[in-house]
Structure 1
Amino acid sequence: MLITTGSATFREKIIISCLAAFAAGAAWPAAAQTRDTINRLPNTIYLPDAAPAAPSADKNVVKSLSALPSATLDLKGTAPNPAAISAQVQSFVAQNAKELGLEGNAAKLVVKSTRETLTGRYVSMEQRLDDIPIIDSQVQLTVSDQGAVQSVARNVVDVPTASVASVKKTAEVSQKAAEDIVWKDLNASGEYLEPPTAEKAYLNENNVLTLVYVVKMAVSKPFGYWEYRVDANTGRIVSKKDRAIKEGKHKRDLPGSPDLSAAGVPADREAALAKFNQRMKSMMPVDKKTAKVATGKGLVFEPNPVSSLNDTGLQDNDPPSKFDKAYVEVALVGLSEAGGKLNLQGPLVRIDDFEPGDGGVSRPPSTSTGTWTARRGDNAFNDVMTYFYINSSITYLQKIGYTGTRDLFPNGIAVDTDGLNGADNSHFVPGSDRLAFGHGCVDDNEDTDVIFHELGHAIHDHINVDWGGGDSGAIGEGFGDYWAISQRKQIKNGFQVDPVKVFEWDGIDACWGGRRADRLNARYDPNRTYGAHQSMGSFESDELWSTPLVSSLLELTGAGETIESVDQVVLEGMSGIGSNFTMRTLALATVAKAKALFPGKPHAAVFEKHFKHHKIIP
């Protein structure tokens, strides 16, 4: 090449410049691979036929599974437990390490849980450094029975090998000291509701891994299931929240920091713990070895008095006689019989007493010699309502395929029918696997929508063990509302009054108004993050997710498809999406699962249509 300017020739300069540029270009990849900064990688989900999408701030990246060098994982014949599948999963991770951002990453993936699904297998892997988990860092995947990977959700921190020396790995603060810090900060003057726990973990703070204790401490005053993150070296409180997921009737009841405005002097923690342990010893659970399985009877509303009586003017303080025709006698199956008494303790549901209830008083579960005759106003009626409908809903899950190695509730679930210090709210407690119902205005247990909604939180938590972050707050509430409507649709008179109003009885106008699942004007903004119960002007964040689900349910069942098939699509869509997911990524995953479950059927097209109506899918 010869370039001249006037009489000057620059051949040598050009050659030298080109050689220098070539050398720099050749050296760039090696330099780029020398990483020394800890960094959270963009959340990414890999789905079938997904077009790559550019990420916006704090949002997910969507990629096609074809971007993975290997999209097969043969788990056929292996037992559904972490130890049995670990070798095959690690091989899959190694083959895709570069694409998943795990090449040269000192933090390794460890199989945490696995479960069979309706279409194959679900696997959750936890990222750990020196066998200590990194908070909110995991990879989830789903794979078909034929070994084809159906989805991969990556949410990891890049910990370059060169950066490991900067990470402090030992704790100067003891576990007991961390618990003391939390107790003191709470100014706890009540009793323990469950044993406290403190576990080490790494927290990514501005690209620095901080060793913390995750302390869980549930107390009656200030009431809550508090979760703290305490710096394991300085004792600094990094964050605190109530981890219970509430129904959200009142903004003051939303999860948050403890209200210490009326706090006094903290009680003695060791004495409180000793008292709790003594109380646990004194409580005599039903001996499963000697108890007999029995069937009893009881009265329930079917599904609530507003629907069954077709009376939208019904009020909480109406005379008892006005409700007489709303009661229905039902069979209570799976009960435990001991000492001639029937207990509402079965393999799927256990009515327990683990929270103070109305007036701050703890009330033991009711028993009977055969038939519960209690009516509203007597908490024994709430016991029966709660046991019957939760037992029915979990039995329904088994009917549609979630049984055996797919079972979402292999150990059942514990429920307190008179909890929350009597507050007008109800909640599910992740990590403790507890449901509790409060009173105030209409008792929450008198409306099946509340019972099914709260169980819905337990369902999504069991389907996806890493549930949290992103839009999960609004999605979880929206799914709970969907589950309430879908279950009520299968009950006599369930759709008699206002099919798409959620909490027809508990949410009468005189109480709090309830929510709806027909907000057709709601539109999704990909630049927002949707937490639980957020007001969006003309709709709530929860309704943005429940509406397309319920619209799909009504259209598909109206066209002759079964409720069971629609529920299966909604449930399977939540499996394998990891944490910090958005409405958009879950919508895409739901459509993909509809195609896998019902090829040639209208399910995928109908769900996609309604998600597009709300701009959730563009």
Structure 2
Amino acid sequence: MRPASLLPLLLALVASTTASVLALEPSATNAARTKASPASEAVGIRAESVAALEKLNSDSTTPWEVRWDGATGLPARIYGGSTEPLGATPEEAARAFLKRHSAVFAIASADRDLRTMEIRESLGGRHVRFLQHLRGLPVFGADVSVHMDRSLAVHTVNSAYVPLQGTADMAATVTREAALERARSAARVEGELRAPASADKVLFARDGKAAIAWLVMLPARSPLGDFQVVVDASSAEVLSLENLIRHAEAKAKVFNPNPVVAMKNNSFRDGNDADNSAWAGAYKEVTLQGLDSSGKLRGQFVDATLGTLAEEEPQAGPYNFTRNQKPFEQVMVYFHIDRAQRYIQSIGFTNINNRVQRANAHGTNDDNSWFSPATKELTFGDGGVDDAEDSDIIMHEYGHSIQDNQVPGFGGRGEAGAMGEGFGDYMASTMRADLTFQRECVGSWDGVAYSSDNPPCLRRVDSTKHYPEQIEGEVHADGEIWSASVWQLWNKLGKAVTDKLVLESHFHLSPQAKFADGANAILQADKSLFQGAHLKEIKQVFVARGILKSSAKLRISLKDKATGKPCAGRVNVSGLQASLQVPAGGLLEAEIAPGAYTMSVSSFGYLTQDGRAVEVQEDQTVDVEFVLESAPRFAVTGSVKRADTGEAVSARIYVADTPIEPVQTSGSAGTFSVELPAGKYTFKAVAFGFRASVLADVEIAGPRSLEFKLASLPPVLLVDDDDGASVETFFKAALTAGQFDVWTVKSDGQLTDDGLLGYPTVVWFTGADYRQTLSEQDQALIKQYLQAGGRLMLSGQEIAYSLKDTSFLKDVLAAEFVADAASVRKVKGASMEFAIEGGDGANNQQYPDVVKAAGAGSREYFAYDGDASGSAALALVRSGAKALYFAFGFEAIDTAANRAKVMKLALDFLRPTLAERASRLAAMDAMRQAAPAAEQTRWMALEESYEKLIAGELASASAADQARLRDLLARPAMAKFRILRTAGQ
């Protein structure tokens, strides 16, 4: 059923930038970790793109579905729709579509910006791939592909196009040789390469601008990898680093397919390549086809002679070798790859990897095999069982070669990488599917060298893993989700149909494809090849696996009973973990699994409705309307006072989980008033210099009066600013209970100046986060806090690395980045020694930074024991401020006793006297004077609150503190602070 407009649905379904619209999409995604990838802030979906999509939908015979790119706010993929043929050739049709609908992807000029890279034909259609160019240079990773049926009607577009508002520094001051050396250093490449390196100029998009860069490819031997490194051509910064090589962890060799399966016997063992009469039944006599006239194992589709020594070169047939002879594995590589290519062509695909596949059957002594995208070669290892003795391993690696040929650069990491590993396992299984013994066990011969399972599989294609909750973030483990899904299709639809669907679907993918993209590509392949005959079965498999959402839908509408106007609200549906948020337009359409549900709705200002029953069938959209009745409203009044003196406090009152704006107290009594509908609420009073006070579950059934009593701030604020595994407990345990507050950035949001300046000392940590250790707002806030004379302990192993090119590191922290990943894990200084690994610490220090003091007031506080290149921690004393910067994670200190000792040392060093805290008033007044006019009133209120806070502590201060404060107040800069001067007399 086609909606009249996409806009309400877009607004409803994109509460986060990874949400999808009208699509069979994943319920979650798994983000891949690359240390040097360019960080991008998630942005909202672009309104211009929404409008253009509505236009596209109105012009199409079937509705389009969308997967959004959370970094750009643009579609990463549109699919499922259909246009009329737009040109006489595939390129002409593709360009016509992109010109007509350029606003969907924010393409400035399809003719100028997009250069045709490839035009391919598959059984079901035509495929045109473009690459974005600017000023004659390609934009890194900005590929666009258009996919059409055989009539040239467009049905799918993948886009990584980057709207560029301008250019950054276009001067390539870094030479090609310097870029190659920087790339080698970043990838930690040693020794000779497996093949020549390449370096080409590209543009790299950052913050909407293009910077000139070098795209370097290093086919490395040590460590093994095809390292793709992007190096900034003006600064030599590494912008992106990725290893593209395809590895197989399985080590298995081939008979037909291997001795375990051929003999139906799991007791076989390698025996150091020994051969005896027990193996006789495992060998099968075959005909090697397509050999050339050289007399070597080289032919129409395979060259198995790589790395072969002259004395090991097999002579012209017959090739009657056994497994204890080196040429045996070469014969197996030749036979199985040749057979696979001939099979692929026999089912109609004459342009999938139709080339001579070069392979080295004995390329390494390690128990490892791989496909190299840089050299297009296969390498098999001899560790454990020789890998080329197991056809499953050969077919797995050949599967990587197939996908790289269909989609260049496919599957380096993340879900695309897992799809690549899963397809390799599927390829291994389907190529020997005529044998039923342990058919779902991949690498049963290779596995005898390392697996204790029975049977000893490398992996299986019948896993019950479910997406997304069983995603592990490792491509081989996650590949079992994909292989199990397509193997289920194999069992439902048969080999002939499924092999065609899977191979055809690859043409529709981008290198960054998600599981859901792969599933939808298989659906599209079924439409192209089989007129959609198997769509139901395909959907069932991928919905059950969690990769696709059910196509059943709820269309929920909310309206006011009295006025009939639409309302926003929250709908709870039994069985769903999260509630559904209906926007202000009053309409939400959401996908849901078929079944029976009970619904309830709550909306601020209205009576709650419970118990609405609804049943949803597959491929059905059910309309559910709630007519809401206004709830009675009552006045809530109250006051905010200091807990110690009873003095009125200027504060803001928040009513949690409501659209009510914060209410500011007024008058000398610190009173407030707000009108609320009947119900239960949580109120929070927030005032500068005081701990927030919360009144929870307050029942409002009539007029109500509330009183807040605020306690003074504790000595320490702990800021939890890590974005990975939480390490907060290590800090809490080292601090004195009741003497600190906690602000968790992930849940509490961005910290503000009025939430920070009142604390005597701040302990701020970023844990193992590497994507964005300190945001620009964080940096500005810390700078302001230190300028005001604040005391800061900052901890994080990636801070210097991620901020090495910023003025914040040098000018604010007075530090300089020396190296990433300190070579030692022992730290000494301040009369103590400890380790940052082992023990009961967090054990998370993969990349502890090495830094050195830079600027006045900065000195070494802790050193790495045995590394003289720099420091582990720095101490800064400057203009009344003090800071300790730990270039490693405090949480990794090896024992609780050592953590407690280090924390005490830090707080003793940082702790300000009352006079030092009072001196912040002069700095705050200077900040007020520099602030915009609109901020003057707020800063004056902050100053007054802080002055009262210090004055309130004066009576209980020590005689020495009182004397120091009187000396401070005698200075001219403190003359204006009358409240404090009066209290000090």
Q: Normalized against structure 1, the TM-score is what?
A: 0.72
TM-superposed deviation, 1:106? 10
Q: Which residue of 1 aligns with 2:313?
A: 366
Q: Distance in 2 between matches of 1:109 and 1:219?
A: 32
Is the 1:470–1:529 contact (alpha carbons within 8 Å) kept by the matching residues of 2?
A: no
SS of equivalent to 1:336: coil
Q: Of 255, 272, 280, which aligns to 1:324? A: 280
Q: Of 542, 545, 552, which aligns to 2:479? A: 542
Could you say if the C-alpha distance between residues 323 and 595 of structure 1 is closer, same or farther in structure 2, counting changes exceeding 3 Å? same
User: Residue type of the partner of 1:229?
Assistant: V
Q: Distance in 2 between matches of 1:471 and 1:389?
A: 28
Q: Which residue of 1 aligns with 2:263?
A: 309
Q: Of 337, 341, 353, which aligns to 2:306? A: 353
* Post-superposition CA distance 1:388-445 (Å, at most 9, x none): 1001101111111111xxx1224322111111x3211111111321111111111111
Q: Distance in 1 between matches of 2:341 and 2:45?
A: 36
* Post-superposition CA distance 1:241-293 (Å, at most 9, x none): 4321101359xxxxxxxxxxxxxxxxxxxxxxxxxxxxxxxxxxxxxxxxxxx
Note if 1:394 corresponds to 2:341.
yes
Q: Distance in 1 between matches of 2:175 and 2:484?
A: 48
* Post-superposition CA distance 1:357-394 (Å, at most 9, x none): 9xxxx788723132222211322111000011001101
Q: Which residue of 2 aligns with 1:220?
A: 221
Q: Which residue of 2 aligns with 1:287?
A: none
Could you say if the C-alpha distance between residues 147 and 242 of structure 1 is closer, same or farther in structure 2, counting changes exceeding 3 Å? closer
Is the 1:52–1:61 contact (alpha carbons within 8 Å) kept by the matching residues of 2?
A: no
Q: Distance in 1 between matches of 2:160 and 2:45?
A: 7
SS of equivalent to 2:298: coil
Note if 1:97 corresponds to 2:102.
yes
Q: Distance in 2 between matches of 1:105 and 1:123?
A: 13
TM-superposed deviation, 1:524? 1.3
| Residue pairs, 1:80-229, within 5 angstroms | 86-103=91-108, 108-159=113-164, 163-164=165-166, 166-183=167-184, 190-229=191-230
Is the 1:316–1:442 contact (alpha carbons within 8 Å) kept by the matching residues of 2?
A: yes
Q: Which moved more, 1:511-520 or 1:121-130?
A: 511-520
Q: Distance in 2 between matches of 1:245 and 1:448?
A: 17
Could you say if the C-alpha distance between residues 179 and 399 of structure 1 is closer, same or farther in structure 2, counting changes exceeding 3 Å? same
Q: Which residue of 2 aligns with 1:565?
A: 497
Q: Of 396, 400, 415, which aligns to 1:453? A: 396
Could you say if the C-alpha distance between residues 184 and 526 of structure 1 is closer, same or farther in structure 2, counting changes exceeding 3 Å? closer
* Unpaired segments ≥5 residues, structure 2: 1-39, 550-985
Q: Distance in 2 between matches of 1:144 and 1:372?
A: 45
Q: Which moved more, 1:471-480 or 1:176-185?
A: 176-185
Q: Distance in 2 between matches of 1:585 and 1:530?
A: 18
TM-superposed deviation, 1:597? 0.9
User: Residue type of the partner of 1:428?
Assistant: F
Is the 1:197–1:217 contact (alpha carbons within 8 Å) kept by the matching residues of 2?
A: yes
Q: Which residue of 1 aligns with 2:296?
A: 343
Is the 1:38–1:207 contact (alpha carbons within 8 Å) kept by the matching residues of 2?
A: no
Could you say if the C-alpha distance between residues 189 and 599 of structure 1 is closer, same or farther in structure 2, counting changes exceeding 3 Å? closer
Q: Distance in 2 between matches of 1:61 and 1:219?
A: 32
Is the 1:123–1:140 contact (alpha carbons within 8 Å) kept by the matching residues of 2?
A: yes
Note if 1:74 corresponds to 2:94.
no
User: Residue type of the partner of 1:371?
Assistant: P
* Post-superposition CA distance 1:282-330 (Å, at most 9, x none): xxxxxxxxxxxxxxxxx97111100111101211128521212211122
Q: Distance in 1 between matches of 2:78 and 2:212?
A: 33
SS of equivalent to 2:105: coil
Higher strand fraction (1 or 2): 2
Q: Which residue of 1 aligns with 2:448?
A: 508
Q: Distance in 1 between matches of 2:297 and 2:43?
A: 47
* Post-superposition CA distance 1:27-49 (Å, at most 9, x none): xxxxxxxxxx9999979999995
TM-superposed deviation, 1:499? 1.1
TM-superposed deviation, 1:567? 0.6
Note if 1:517 corresponds to 2:461.
yes
Could you say if the C-alpha distance between residues 364 and 573 of structure 1 is closer, same or farther in structure 2, counting changes exceeding 3 Å? farther
SS of equivalent to 2:293: strand
User: Residue type of the partner of 1:596?
Assistant: S
Could you say if the C-alpha distance between residues 350 and 495 of structure 1 is closer, same or farther in structure 2, counting changes exceeding 3 Å? same
Is the 1:417–1:445 contact (alpha carbons within 8 Å) kept by the matching residues of 2?
A: yes
Q: Distance in 1 between matches of 2:354 and 2:61?
A: 31
SS of equivalent to 2:104: coil
Q: Of 541, 544, 552, which aligns to 2:489? A: 552
TM-superposed deviation, 1:475? 0.6
Is the 2:397–2:424 contact (alpha carbons within 8 Å) kept by the matching residues of 1?
A: yes
Q: Normalized against structure 2, the TM-score is what?
A: 0.46
TM-superposed deviation, 1:590? 0.8
TM-superposed deviation, 1:87? 4.5
TM-superposed deviation, 1:466? 4.8
Could you say if the C-alpha distance between residues 42 and 225 of structure 1 is closer, same or farther in structure 2, counting changes exceeding 3 Å? farther
Is the 2:292–2:300 contact (alpha carbons within 8 Å) kept by the matching residues of 1?
A: no
Could you say if the C-alpha distance between residues 505 and 49 of structure 1 is closer, same or farther in structure 2, counting changes exceeding 3 Å? farther
Is the 1:175–1:213 contact (alpha carbons within 8 Å) kept by the matching residues of 2?
A: yes
Note if 1:604 corresponds to 2:604.
no
TM-superposed deviation, 1:57? 5.2
Q: Which residue of 2 aligns with 1:574?
A: 506
TM-superposed deviation, 1:198? 0.6
How many residues get paired? 490
Output the aligned Cα RMSD: 3.3
Detail structure 1 runs of 4+ shifted over 4 Å in the superposition: 37-66, 85-88, 104-107, 183-189, 362-365, 526-531
SS of equivalent to 1:372: coil
TM-superposed deviation, 1:187? 6.7
SS of equivalent to 1:353: coil
Q: Of 431, 453, 464, which aligns to 2:374? A: 431
User: Residue type of the partner of 1:113?
Assistant: E
Could you say if the C-alpha distance between residues 174 and 40 of structure 1 is closer, same or farther in structure 2, counting changes exceeding 3 Å? farther
Is the 1:428–1:458 contact (alpha carbons within 8 Å) kept by the matching residues of 2?
A: yes
TM-superposed deviation, 1:564? 2.5
* Post-superposition CA distance 1:443-485 (Å, at most 9, x none): 1111111111111111111112252465101111011111111
User: Residue type of the partner of 2:296?
Assistant: N
Note if 1:464 corresponds to 2:407.
yes
User: Residue type of the partner of 2:487?
Assistant: V
Q: Distance in 1 between matches of 2:541 and 2:180?
A: 48
Q: Distance in 1 between matches of 2:205 and 2:43?
A: 8
Q: Which residue of 2 aligns with 1:590?
A: 522
Could you say if the C-alpha distance between residues 445 and 40 of structure 1 is closer, same or farther in structure 2, counting changes exceeding 3 Å? farther
Which structure carries more relative contact order (alpha carbon 8 Å, separation 6+)? 1
SS of equivalent to 1:218: strand
Is the 1:107–1:158 contact (alpha carbons within 8 Å) kept by the matching residues of 2?
A: no
* Unpaired segments ≥5 residues, structure 1: 1-36, 79-84, 251-298, 534-539, 558-562
Same amino acid, percent of matched pairs: 26
SS of equivalent to 2:482: helix
Q: Distance in 2 between matches of 1:332 and 1:241?
A: 38
Note if 1:381 corresponds to 2:325.
no
Could you say if the C-alpha distance between residues 73 and 445 of structure 1 is closer, same or farther in structure 2, counting changes exceeding 3 Å? farther
Q: Distance in 1 between matches of 2:104 and 2:150?
A: 24
Q: Which moved more, 1:86-95 or 1:302-311?
A: 86-95
Q: Which moved more, 1:608-617 or 1:44-53?
A: 44-53
SS of equivalent to 2:425: helix
